[in-house]
Structure 1
């Protein structure tokens, strides 16, 4: 899957908005995010398997997932409409989650 940001009207807007979401996630969490762009993650939360995917609804909050960030030695940060994008801090997912990267971040 090629990188995209939900609801962005063009690539330039996507990059600008992605950077703003990333800065917000770092500011609220206190962690520096990794440079990879994550498309999806799978993890366990309260005994339930969760799949978060950019452009899809989070199964817990029913909000659109805009971005997923990894942090070195910490959890994944999942940014939804009201958890990391328009307001608040990102949701935290287990650091042992199984991620899928956008194409440009996949190793050849």
Structure 2
């Protein structure tokens, strides 16, 4: 899967939006970009994917996942109201019960 940000008109705009989100969330901006994330929370297996809604338990409705950032000990999942335009991102522990799948056009796959 090629890197994209939902609603970005082209690759340049996608990079601009991704960088702006990362800066506002104090997340590292790298060439290695997450496409999907799977994790376990309270004995429940969860997953999210760029361009698709979060699991219903997060109560974000049909908002799409805009970006997932890999930080030192956690992932930051961003939708419009959770880390995008307002609010805080969803935080997921980066541990043995989480697994990231990266976009195929990442330089450091």
TM-score by length of 1: 0.85
Where does 1:5-84 land on structure 2 (aligned, <5 Å)? 5-26=5-26, 32-33=27-28, 35=30, 36-59=32-55, 60=58, 61-62=60-61, 63-72=63-72, 74-84=73-83
The structural deviation recorded for 1:4 is: 0.4
- Structure 2: 5+ residue stretches without partners: none
Q: Does 1:102 align with 2:97?
A: no
4+ residue stretches of structure 1 with deviation over 3 A?
none
Q: For the Cα contact (< 8 Å) 2:19–2:29, is it kept in 1?
A: no
Q: For the Cα contact (< 8 Å) 2:22–2:29, is it kept in 1?
A: no
Q: For the Cα contact (< 8 Å) 1:34–1:71, is it kept in 2?
A: no
Report what 1:86 is aligned to: 85
RMSD, aligned CA: 1.4
- Name the structure where helix makes up a greater proportion of residues: 1
The structural deviation recorded for 1:34 is: 5.9
Query: How many residue pairs get matched?
Result: 101
- Structure 1: 5+ residue stretches without partners: 27-31
